[in-house]
Structure 1
Amino acid sequence: MSDPLSALLLGLLEGLTEFLPVSSTGHLLIAQHWLGARSDFFNIVIQAGAILAITLVFRRRIRELATGLGDAANRDYAMKLAAAFLVTALVGLPVRLAGWELPETVTPIAWALILGGVWMIFAERMAERRGDGVHVTWTVAVLVGLAQVVAGVFPGTSRSAAAIFMAMLAGLGRRSAATEFVFLVGIPTMFAASAYAFLELWKDGGLGGEAWGDVALAFTAATVTGFVVVKWLLGYIKQHRFTGFAVYRILLGAALLLWLPAGD
């Protein structure tokens, strides 16, 4: 398969999976098992393409928060978004500096998909028993930040799934409210991760070796596809649980464990 076609497929896959609770990083690593490995920079930048999509989807909400800081409710919400981002940065950066790298085999991702799917079913049922809360507390903000770090350390976990269900368990019971907060936190989180990856590559002198045409193609595909997926998901979760995604994760993880040779 040609490199541009491979990049296009990976970009489409990123856009399809970044915001669904199925782990975009896990899917990309699985796909690259057959399509060929890509750099960490490629993976993070196409995630930024998907984040650009969500920025466009939530542009009115972002404008409302940015221009309405004089309103107490907007200011409180913005401060909690900032707190969640800072927790992710302050905890996640030392992990990155410690030399953490994505796994080279699919097996740990398969297990993360299965365990994450089981946890999603359990967490959603537990959250429903706690009520239909819509207020973002400081506890929710801190736990969402920590959940993003955990998802970054264990590919296959899913940043959106870990953070959404952590928010729901912490009291933000309404799916739409939890999803909006997590998606908005993801905007600075992933843009910052992309900028950090760019600086690392620049310092190491690796920018010249990057296939920029492939990166641009995948970035565009992820942006367009991500926009469509987010618009669909925001409507879907108003009337449906996340159970279908949990079942998909479990089945995919089991299939990978059954079909892949040991050690892959």
Structure 2
Amino acid sequence: MSDLLSALLLGILEGLTEFLPISSTGHLLISQHWLGARSDFFNIVIQAGAILAVTLAFRERLWTLANGLDQRENRDYVMKLGVAFLVTALVGLPVRLAGWQLPETVTPIAWAVLIGGVWMLVAERLASRLPDSETVTWKVAIAVGLAQVIAGVFPGTSRSAAAIFLAMLLGLTRRAAAAEFVFLVGIPTMFAASGYAFMELARDGALGSENWGEVGVAFAAAVVTGFIVVKWLLDYIKRRPFTGFALYRIALGIGLLLFLPAGN
């Protein structure tokens, strides 16, 4: 397989998985065992493509919030987005500075994918017993911030799955409302994380050896695919539960544990 085709497939995979509750980091780390390992810069760029995609998908909502700060409801929502982001930054930055690294083997990712699938089934069942609500509380905002850190430390967990289901268990039971809040928090979170990682690579002189054609193709693929997936998912979860995604995770986790040698 050519390097350009590999880059295209990785960009599509990032766009497909960044916002679905199935773990984009886990899928990328696993796929690179077959499609070839890529640099940290490459992974940062395609994640930035996914960030741009969700920003475009929510452009009307973002515009409404930005131009409606004179309304208490909008101010309250923006403040809660800010709190969730600050919690992620204040807890996550020390973890990053401590030298935490992504795992180089598939086994821990497979376990996180599998356990996360079971967690989704249990959490959605428990949330269905709670009163129907689309109100974002301060407790939900703090929990979403913490969930993003947990997902970052344990690749395969899925940032969106961890945050959405924790929000639902804490009372934000409308799936679409929980997903919207988590995706909006993800915009500044992922922009900040990508920007910080980019500055680290620039400081270390690790940007000069990239194939910019491959990076550009992967970035464009992540933008287009991510935009389509976000729009589709928001419509899907208005009518259906997350059960299909949970079952997929369980099947994938079991398959990886059974068919990949330990430590591969």
TM-score bucket of the superposed structures, by smaller chain:
over 0.9
Q: Paired residues, what number?
A: 264
2:90 is the counterpart of 1:90:
yes
Instruction: Give the % identical residues.
Output: 76
- Residue aligning to 1:176: 176
**CA contact 1:41–1:194 (8 Å) conserved in 2:** no
Distance of 1:204 and 1:146 partners within structure 2: 29
- Residue aligning to 2:108: 108
- Residue aligning to 2:81: 81
Q: Give matches, 1:208-227, under 5 Å.
A: 208-227=208-227
- Residue aligning to 2:28: 28
Per-residue deviation, residues 190-234 of structure 1 (Å, max 9, x unmatched): 111111111001100111123322222111100000111111111
Gaps of at least 5 residues in structure 2 are none
- Residue aligning to 1:117: 117
**CA contact 2:7–2:218 (8 Å) conserved in 1:** yes
- Residue aligning to 2:142: 142
The alpha-carbon deviation at position 77 of structure 1 amounts to: 0.1
Paired residue type of 1:171 = G
2:131 is the counterpart of 1:131:
yes
The alpha-carbon deviation at position 14 of structure 1 amounts to: 0.5
Describe the SS at the equivalent of 2:261.
Answer: coil
Distance of 2:214 and 2:34 partners within structure 1: 17
Paired residue type of 2:45 = V
- Residue aligning to 2:72: 72
- Residue aligning to 2:254: 254
The alpha-carbon deviation at position 104 of structure 1 amounts to: 0.6
Distance of 1:28 and 1:9 partners within structure 2: 10
2:13 is the counterpart of 1:13:
yes
Aligned Cα root-mean-square deviation (Å): 0.8
The alpha-carbon deviation at position 247 of structure 1 amounts to: 0.3
Paired residue type of 1:136 = V
Gaps of at least 5 residues in structure 1 are none
Per-residue deviation, residues 93-122 of structure 1 (Å, max 9, x unmatched): 111111111111111111001100000000
Distance of 1:129 and 1:185 partners within structure 2: 26
Describe the SS at the equivalent of 2:128.
Answer: helix
* TM-score when normalising by structure 2: 0.98
Distance of 2:172 and 2:44 partners within structure 1: 28
Paired residue type of 2:256 = L
